[in-house]
Amino acid sequence: MALPNEKYIVDKKGERIGVLLSMEKYQTMLAELEELESIRVYDAAKTSGDETLPFDQAVRKIEQERR
């Protein structure tokens, strides 16, 4: 995925060592990474074979364990 008006940071040899992003693009990328991580965690949980709980029951269990 090429970004329009890409801006790179280069070293003395002209090698690309970094990239500058707008805050909007950076925040979009962070949100997409968080979503991807949630998908990976979900996929891992589905294939783990561990016991699953409905969300509300899991929240109650966590709250009980905090006491």
> In the predicted model, is pLDDT for residue 3 greater than 80?
no
* Domain extent listing, the chain: 7-66
Residue-wise pLDDT for 6-50, tens only, equals 899 999 999 999 999 999 999 999 999 999 999 998 888 888 888
DSSP three-state, residue 7: strand
First CA to last CA across the chain, in angstroms? 48
Please tell me the predicted confidence (pLDDT) of residue 2. 57
